[in-house]
Structure 1
Amino acid sequence: MTTQAMAKPVDDAEMAHPLIPAQRVNGAEVYNQAKEKIGKIEDIAIDKRTGKVAYAILSFGGFLGMGDKHQPLPWSVLDYDTDVGGYVVDITQEFLTLAPKLDVSELSGWDDTMNRDAFHTYYTPLGAKPYW
């Protein structure tokens, strides 16, 4: 079952502030379903034409910022969980290790038109929905 399907009802306190500035998303922690931290959001990728958030760029696996790997996660696979104060994704370490990767040099400008189908196909079992 995906995190989207398991989403808990939104309470009034959450609805009081349904939007978040990008600078607060950057650095937000990301957890698996067991509430174990798997990384943090390094950045987000927004489609210039539609304004939709396409990906959260997950940073993981390094030590003190060195050796980090970067993984684009389709935004649609993340759920914000107020209990942990971060985003939760139904993912295992093995699934993440086998996922298509993003080179850190691409973070400043990335054209996913050649591989976006591969990213979204890989994450389809988690409920990924195309942003385009």
Structure 2
Amino acid sequence: MLNQNKGGTMALQEKSYDVDNRTGTNHEGPYANTPVRRLTATSIIGDSVENAAGDDLGKIDNLMVNLNTGEIEYVVLEFGSFLGIGGKLFAIPFSELTLDAERELFILNRDKDYLKDTPGFDKAHWPDTNDHSYFNDVNTYWGSPRAYY
């Protein structure tokens, strides 16, 4: 940020994003929201998902929020579609994803073959999302320790 001092010369001052973050004032710059602690749902939906090798695993189609706890429990990952056509949807525990804030995408530590063999569903036939046994099956499949009753 440039400011003019009393002598009329321009002085370079460091911008304090910590203050902006605490006050809610809009801020700018490549590290304005670092470290990332919270994101809007609309900034997550549509994000790309890759594995650690950089393989494209799809995009986040939707989020499943537990209305009792307020947690995002699952993302709905769309895999294998072209321009939104075809493909398969998966419920994946949100805890399986890691944010790569610099690249603005999520990392899922699985390979494409794992997803090809993973039970999923299509856009026209969603599972019963209020059925605890469905999500317990998903948790078991992904190795997540959480169980819902």
**TM-score with structure 2 setting the length:** 0.70
Q: Please give the secondary structure, in 2, of the residue aligned with 1:67.
A: coil
1:122 maps to which residue? 141
1:4 maps to which residue? none
* Distance 1:93-1:37 versus aligned 2 partners, 3 A rule: same
Q: Does 1:20 pair with 2:39?
A: yes
Structure with more helix by fraction: 1
In structure 1, how many angstroms separate the alpha carbons of the residues matched to 2:147 and 2:69?
9
Q: Does 1:38 pair with 2:54?
A: no
* Distance 1:18-1:107 versus aligned 2 partners, 3 A rule: farther
In structure 2, how many angstroms separate the alpha carbons of the residues matched to 1:131 and 1:102?
21
Q: Does 1:81 pair with 2:97?
A: no
Q: Letter of the aligned partner of 2:99 in structure 1?
A: Y
Unaligned runs of 5+ in 1: 1-10
Q: Please give the secondary structure, in 1, of the residue aligned with 2:119.
A: coil
The alpha-carbon deviation at position 131 of structure 1 amounts to 7.1
In structure 1, how many angstroms separate the alpha carbons of the residues matched to 2:62 and 2:145?
19
In structure 2, how many angstroms separate the alpha carbons of the residues matched to 1:45 and 1:115?
13
Kindly tell me the number of residue pairs found equivalent between the two proteins. 118
Q: Please give the secondary structure, in 2, of the residue aligned with 1:14.
A: coil
In structure 2, how many angstroms separate the alpha carbons of the residues matched to 1:76 and 1:13?
21
Identity %: 25
Q: Letter of the aligned partner of 2:124 in structure 1?
A: S
2:13 maps to which residue? none
Q: Which has the higher contact order (CA 8 A, sep 6+)?
A: 1
